[in-house]
Amino acid sequence: MILEGKRLLITGVVTRDSIAWEVARQAQESGAEVVLTGFGRARRMTERAAARLPHEVDVLELDVNSDDDLSALTADLTERWGTLDGVLHAIAFAPGDALGGAFLETPTTSALTAFQTSAVSLKCLTASLLPLLEQADGGASVVGLDFDASVAWPVYDWMGVAKAGLEAVSRYLARDVGPRGVRVNLVSAGPIETLAAGGIPGFEKLAGSWGDTAPLGWDSSDPSAVAGTVCYLLSDLSRGVTGEIIHVDGGYHAMGAPVA
């Protein structure tokens, strides 16, 4: 089992449809010990989803924009394990007025909220946990979930800008934590029908057209391929990989037009 003995922190589990939930499931079945995080009122949803995993897990409070929460999380994991082999950053948020096609009208405060929560948070989470990640035997891995930011998407607006920031943050993190034995990579996933995706106006149209262009096809209801790649990056099989963005999108990103 590729994650045998690994101790992993997984953020972003809200429902069983979450990519992060599928990562947690596959990680447990691959031998990892897992802790989840939840936030505010949604933490109850995380706990209900956690109860459906193969093995019991704890859910810790984490508002990634709160220094106090980050400190408490690090203290808990230090007492619990004393080391950390991997982290999944599956955190993103944009206010409603930062999505939907009114890019030019979005208030600056909303754009900054999207950037802070969806991009800067990768640095904040990694930096807070770095003392634990440095202790991992054979190196540790930080993985973030991405959506291709090399192009502009309909209605994605400032979340797309935030994802571009996430990609840049991941490269600079890879530069700075690599000498300390920590890898940083992103998985750029095709559209998956999650709770968060449901809050993006026009998501259904985007997801529906994906299969016409992706040469491998695409099932937006199945996060397993994305989760499998995340687990690979969390494992020692990826020990030589950092600063990378791996596309798990059926090949959509490489096509210039729909496949006949």
| Residues tagged active-site | 156, 163
Q: Three-state DSSP class for 19? A: helix
Cα separations in angstroms, 216 against 183, 206, 248, 254: 29, 17, 10, 11
191, 207 in Cβ contact below 8 A?
yes
Amino acid present at 248: V
Contact yes or no for 32/6 (Cβ under 8 A): yes
CB atoms within 10 A of CB 240: 8
In eight-state DSSP terms, residue 54 is S
Half-sphere exposure of residue 163: CA atoms within 13 angstroms, side-chain side: 20
For the record, the structure tokens of 32 come out as: 């990892």
On whether the CB atoms of residues 220 and 207 are closer than 8 A, the answer is yes
Q: Which contacts qualify for 49-58: CB closer than 8 Å, 24 or more apart?
A: 49/13, 49/14, 49/15, 49/16, 49/18, 49/21, 50/13, 50/24, 52/16, 52/21, 53/21, 53/24, 53/25, 53/28, 54/25, 54/28, 54/29, 55/28, 57/24, 57/28
